[in-house]
Amino acid sequence: MTPYEAIDPDDLYDMIDHFYFLVEKDNRINHLFPGDFAETSRKQKQFLTQFLGGPSLYTDEHGHPMLRQRHIPFTITTNERDAWLENMLKALTSSRLDKDIQEYLFERLKLTANHMVNA
């Protein structure tokens, strides 16, 4: 069973919406998300669905995620990484996702966030 099969996708999507609500208000990192936060949230929903073993929604629409390459235009230091992770942890812990899924996802996203640091 994949993590995606163990969750209610609505719970995941609500968590992502809450995350971007927090990010939009966080001056430490909101400048990294140009444009519409609703669109950014939609793409994150596609990505995390796929990341957790669900349908390949992100790849089907946007191609391979190539996360580091897609983030290269933005200066991401350990400060931005830490702010991103702090907001993600807040969103996860206030979500309806099972605690084990919260912990699993946060640990995986920490690896991803570390990989995004480019300055």
Label residue 34 left, alpha or beta by phi (over 0 means left) and psi (-120 to 50 means alpha): beta
- The stretch 10-27 carries a mean pLDDT of 97
Instruction: Provide the pLDDT confidence category of residue 34 given band limits of 50, 70 and 90.
Output: confident
Q: Give me the percent of the chain exceeding a pLDDT of 90.
A: 89
Delineate the domains of the chain, giving CATH numbers in brackets. 4-116 (1.10.490.10)
pTM, whole model, 2 decimals? 0.94
Nearest to 74 by CA among 39, 34, 21: 34
pLDDT of residue 87: 98
Contact 2, 101 (CB under 8 A): no
pLDDT of residue 13: 98
Instruction: Provide the pLDDT confidence category of residue 40 given band limits of 50, 70 and 90.
Output: very high
Q: Residue 41: in which H helix or E strand, if any?
A: helix 37-51
